[in-house]
Chain A
Amino acid sequence: MDLTVRIGDVTVSNPVGVASGTFGYGSEYEQLIDLKSIGALFTKAVTWEPRPGNRIPRIIETTSGLLNSIGLANVGREGFAKEKYPFLSGLSCSTFVNVAGNTEDDYARTVEWLDEHAPLTGYELNVSCPNVKEGGLSIGGSPRMVEVVTRRVRAVTDKPVIVKLTPNVTDITEIARAAEAAGADALSAMNTLVGMVIDVDACRSVLPGKTGGLSGPAVLPVGVAIVYRVSRAVSIPVIGIGGIDGPDSALQYLLAGASALQIGTANFVDPTVTDRVLEGIRSFLSHHNLTAAGEIAGLLDR
């Protein structure tokens, strides 16, 4: 049974990864799961400078979901290289650094610096960030900005570059094509959906920043539809993310056209979810007499 996935020049051991921001830098889950069993680990966002993150409260549960406003809280590139890199570099799974920024320069200079001081498997660009030069509009909402950011990063590294798409756009396939054209090796779909919860008694938003990002089972159908559309619009691998909490939801993504997966919020609920999903994929393959995870998408009724 072949469970491997190719991302650029890299072979990832299996399609089950853990999503940025939900798995810290790996060490947090070391006592709870065998990190060798996951295909790829995506770190919390790393930015050029450290960021304290947003005001509190930062998370609130919604119906089958989680609304968060963490605000890219991270130790910055130097803190990452000093405090997080030694542990990550010792792991046998693939490790991708999720990189965020507020200008096109931010992404390229951070990747270039990390390539020299803290090289891991590759990078995932979190483009769901406001562009400070363009009045705070999301970088990931503009095909042109996504193309520029991706091209700039492509020029400074030979490692795999994955662009993580935001669902909060008009036509996600247009953004996906822009990233592919600029040299992305794969696409992650999707980041969180913008959401808001209002405390009716207090007549105010629960999150101080008013809106946050919605994740968890509530967003599953949105993610599956996005992966279905994006995987038909590009020819690079698509990594399905959003609401995966077990074999069924994971297989929906693989049937929709995802080459790999990332699990986020569900790690909080059940740290062994990655094992359960991998097991589920294995038994689905044997049940359908398939030999490779990559063949699953072919089963979808057209």
Chain B
Amino acid sequence: MEHFSTHVVHNAPICERYHVMKLGWPPRFAPPLPGQFLTIQPPPGTGALLRRPFAVSDYDPLLSQIEIVYERRGSVTRHLAACRTGERLDILAPLGRPFPEPTGNARPVLLAGGIGMGPMFFLATSLLTRNKNPVLILGARDSTLIPELPLFERIDIIIATDDGSRGLHGTSIDALHSFETDGNDMNTEYFACGPMPMLRALALHADQTARKCWVSIEQTMGCAVGACMGCVIPVHGGNGYARVCTEGPIFDSREIAWT
């Protein structure tokens, strides 16, 4: 875990409302892993207090850069969208537990819902590099929220939109079902990040089909280092709660007490 000031190397929109930002990552730091996140201190003038968490969406050891994909939502992300190359940001990273390795020779099926795509891109790239043959299912509300990325040329990808304006008409879960009924119903393991209803549906499906399923969970954070107990979610076992910032954000879907 490092606390440092770094500079923006690249910052640009990739589709409606979503942007990508690359930041300098000092080479002496340990590399971030897929599933881990960072926090950014709200820059002066945003009127915001708490650091904002974002999943790492890529890491380039050669250029010493990390990347995030973020959605313009409120004061801090609007400020980020206007950041120019060279501007400095205060970063805490890498935080949280990464995605585990796929078990045995299971084929990794990666599900991304909306802005949950960031960590799935990182995992996809890392699995491709290691010849793990991942499938990426990307669900969005409509075609304006689907970026065009070089990664998509290299990976088996299925796109689904709620309104059918691009790819399959339906949710990422619908896309998963059609992928599986197309004869891909074999030895797979799920990795996912997206809205809670999507993760809940996936966890249920994983339970019914006895597959392993790893989900990335979001929760409002205070410290992001395990000190404040502010970011918990209900889990089975222990005292009934786990901290998303340290025990997560990646959880085995069976650990979570879905409500």
Contacts and interface: CB of A to CB of B under 8 A. Distances in A.
B232 A53 contact: yes
Interface in A196-236: 216-217
A294 interface: no
B239 interface: yes
Contacts of B3: 32, 271-272
A272 B216 CA distance: 29
Interface in A38-56: 44, 50-53, 56
B155 interface: no
B222 A59 contact: yes
A21 B220 contact: no
A63 B50 CA distance: 11
Interface residues of B, number: 30
A63 B225 CA distance: 23
Contact of A268 (B219, B223, B229, B240): B223
A109 interface: no
A58 B229 contact: yes
A23 B239 contact: no
B49 A269 contact: yes
Interface in A268-287: 268-272
B225 A32 contact: yes
A86 interface: no
Interface stretch (A66-74, A128-136, A168-176): A66-74
B151 interface: no
19 contacts: A21-B229, A23-B227, A29-B227, A32-B3, A44-B229, A53-B229, A53-B239, A58-B231, A59-B230, A63-B47, A66-B50, A70-B230, A265-B222, A268-B51, A268-B228, A269-B42, A269-B51, A270-B41, A270-B90
Interface of B: 1, 3, 41-42, 47-51, 90, 92, 219-234, 239-241
A300 to B, nearest CB: 28
Interface in A106-159: none
B109 to A, nearest CB: 29
Contacts of A58: 229-232
Given A56-B233, A59-B221, A269-B41, 17 more contacts: A22-B223, A22-B227, A28-B223, A28-B226, A28-B227, A32-B225, A52-B239, A52-B241, A66-B49, A66-B50, A66-B222, A70-B229, A73-B241, A217-B49, A268-B51, A269-B42, A271-B3
A31 interface: yes
Interface of A: 21-24, 28-29, 31-32, 44, 50-53, 56-61, 63-66, 68, 70, 73, 75, 216-217, 265, 267-272
B235 to A, nearest CB: 11
Contacts of B232: 53, 56, 58, 73
Nearest to B39: A268
Of A31, A75, A217, chain B has the most CB atoms within 10 Å of the CB of A31
Of B48, B49, B50, B219, chain A has the most CB atoms within 10 Å of the CB of B49
B41 to A, nearest CB: 6
B52 to A, nearest CB: 10
Contact of B50 (A21, A53, A269, A272): A269
Nearest to A79: B239
Nearest to A31: B1
The 5 closest A-B pairs by CB, nearest first: A24-B227, A59-B230, A28-B227, A52-B239, A73-B229
Nearest to B232: A56
